């Protein structure tokens, strides 16, 4: 498990951290997200369990898996049940997006937390993944907060 405890500019966060857990399951990776629920607006016209392009504009937890050739898989998970997967070749150069995923999310209003669970096929990952990072993003407009597992974008897996 990985806890996202710093902002992107290396300041401590002032709430419980988002947690990303990675579990191997045959030819899939199971990713579990447990995070505070900030009650940001849900994606407009977003459907639970479906891909939502530009999910990064909403309350989201992201995971990145990169190799040494700048190929990477970006996975995004929201508390309202939407997800987004992008396969990129070079910085922000998406070659595939909105890949189908088995993803569910549940919001616990009482504890102000949410949990998401995704199954990621091994075929989605670039070859020879060597680096990993995760982010938690919440807030709207000028109150947007970006939190990072590792400051500086990547760390060696």
List, for residues 17-60, the tens digit of each pLDDT value: 999 999 999 999 999 999 999 999 999 999 999 999 999 999 99
List, for residues 81-122, the tens digit of each pLDDT value: 999 999 988 776 677 778 899 999 999 999 999 999 999 999
What integer pLDDT is reported at residue 28 of this predicted model? 95
What integer pLDDT is reported at residue 157 of this predicted model? 45
List, for residues 58-72, the tens digit of each pLDDT value: 999 999 999 999 889
Residue 156 pLDDT > 70, yes or no?
A: no
Q: What is the mean pLDDT of residues 127-136?
A: 94
What integer pLDDT is reported at residue 133 of this predicted model? 94
Give 41: exposed, middle or buried? Use CB within 10 Å, 0-12, 13-18, 19+: exposed
What integer pLDDT is reported at residue 60 of this predicted model? 98
| pLDDT band (50, 70, 90) for residue 154 | low
What integer pLDDT is reported at residue 43 of this predicted model? 95
State how far the Cα of 88 lies from the Cα of 7, in Å rounded to an integer: 24
Q: For the whole model, what pTM was predicted?
A: 0.92
């Amino acid at each position: 498990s990985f806890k996202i405890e710093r902002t992107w500019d290396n300041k401590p966060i002032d709430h419980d951290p988002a947690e990303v857990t990675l579990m191997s399951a045959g030819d899939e990776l199971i990713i579990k997200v447990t995070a505070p629920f900030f009650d940001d607006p849900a994606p407009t016209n977003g459907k639970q369990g479906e891909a939502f392009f530009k999910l990064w504009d909403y309350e989201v937890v992201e995971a990145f898996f990169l190799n040494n050739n700048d190929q990477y898989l970006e996975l995004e998970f929201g508390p309202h049940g939407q997800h987004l997967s992008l396969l990129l070749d070079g910085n922000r150069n998406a070659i595939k997006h909105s890949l189908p995923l088995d993803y569910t999310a549940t919001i616990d209003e009482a504890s102000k937390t949410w949990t998401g669970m995704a199954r990621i096929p091994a075929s989605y990952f670039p070859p020879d993944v060597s680096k990993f990072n995760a982010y938690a993003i919440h807030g709207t407009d000028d109150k947007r907060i970006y939190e990072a597992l590792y400051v500086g974008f990547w760390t060696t897996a």
